[in-house]
Amino acid sequence: MLEKSLQQLRKSGRRILVPYVMAGSDPDWLSLVDLVIESGADAVEIGIPFSDPSMDGPVIQRAGELALARGVTPFSVLSELRTRSFSVPIVVMTYYNLFHHMGIERAVTELRQAGVDGVIIPDLPLEEGANWRAMAKSQGLETVQLVSPVTSLERVDEILAVAEGFVYGVGSMSVTGERAELAETATAIATRIRPRTTLPLLIGIGISNGDQAAAVVEAGADGVVVGSALLRRVLEGQTPSELSYFVSEIRAALDEA
């Protein structure tokens, strides 16, 4: 569903926008999911908060801490998701321990029952993920793989061989967070990975505005993931119309690129 949906967009020439929302950082977080879809999202990445988010910078850490302080759990997030259906694919991002703790068979089943199409597990690298990938695949849950600016081409090809959904190109050698200037690595990784895969290629980490999004698609990516730049605005208490304007601006920049 995830890969098929994004491939269709890709073939139709539409650039792909995937905003990130932290589940439960606010009681009304599902409205934020609706808002980003209405503002032009092609899929939504939903974070499940974890106590030790070692790949996340201050903004997403803060959003996760707020969610945990509200008593949000993996099961509460998934049961909220079960009550809803969305017009675009849903991708869950969290750390592996939460799924390991549930047991991978149960985790995959729960995710699928909640209508989740794909997962991003940043601390489950190629070598450690075979069991997870097999279980997920057997139930139609697509596991997104990450490639980084320092991943060798040989290793890139090994990762691409098991990639599903889309390829997540890490745009910056850093944890998640906004950047005033686009990292050189963000366009470089798009150019480097593009000829090696026919999967949708999205760049995330350090994509903060429309200009930066446009730059990476011009370098060969199919689209972007935008997390901290959106969540910072949410944490600052921006109004729905302000948030919608921000997402729409990136949408417009992608459409014009």
Partner 1 sequence: MTSVMGNPDATGRFGEFGGRFVPESLMPAVIELDSAFREAWSDPLFRAEYTATLENYAGRPTRLYLAERLSEYLGAEIWLKREDLAHTGSHKINNVIGQALLARRMGKSRLIAETGAGQHGVATATAAALFGLEAKVYMGEVDVARQSLNVFRMRLLGAEVEAVTSGSRTLKDAVNEAMRSWVAALGDTHYCIGSVMGPHPYPWMVREFQRVIGDEARSQYEAATGSTPDWVVACVGGGSNAAGTFAGFVDTPARLVGVEPAGGAAVGHGIGGIVHGMQSFFLQDEFGQINEAASISAGLDYPGVGPEHAHLHAIGRARYDQVNDDQVLEAVQLLARTEGIVCALESAHAIAWLVEHKQELLSSSIVVTLSGRGDKDVETIAQRLGFLEGEEHA
Query: Which residues of the shown chain bind partner 1 in the complex (CB under 8 A)?
Result: 50-58, 61, 65, 68, 73-75, 95-98, 100-102, 122-128, 145-152, 155, 159, 170, 173-175
Residue nearer to partner 1 on the CB measure, 1 or 55? 55
Residue nearer to partner 1 on the CB measure, 161 or 173? 173
CB 97, min distance to partner 1, A: 5
Sign of CA dihedral 83, 86, 89, 90: negative
Are 229 and 200 within 8 A, CB to CB? Answer: no
CB 95, min distance to partner 1, A: 8
Residue nearer to partner 1 on the CB measure, 38 or 128? 128
Closest CA to 223 of 4, 1, 19, 2: 19
Q: Helix, strand, coil shares of the chain as percentages rounded to 5? A: 50, 15, 35
The active-site residue out of 56, 110, 117, 142 is 56
123 is catalytic: no
List the beta strands (DSSP E) in 36-105: 44-47, 90-93
56 is catalytic: yes
Contacts of 208 (CB under 8 A, 6+ apart): 178, 179, 180, 226, 228, 229
CB 143, min distance to partner 1, A: 13
Cα separation, 171 vs 151, in Å, equals 12
SS3 148: coil
Residue nearer to partner 1 on the CB measure, 33 or 63? 63
CB 38, min distance to partner 1, A: 31
What is the Rg, in whole angstroms, of the alpha carbon atoms belonging to the chain?
A: 17
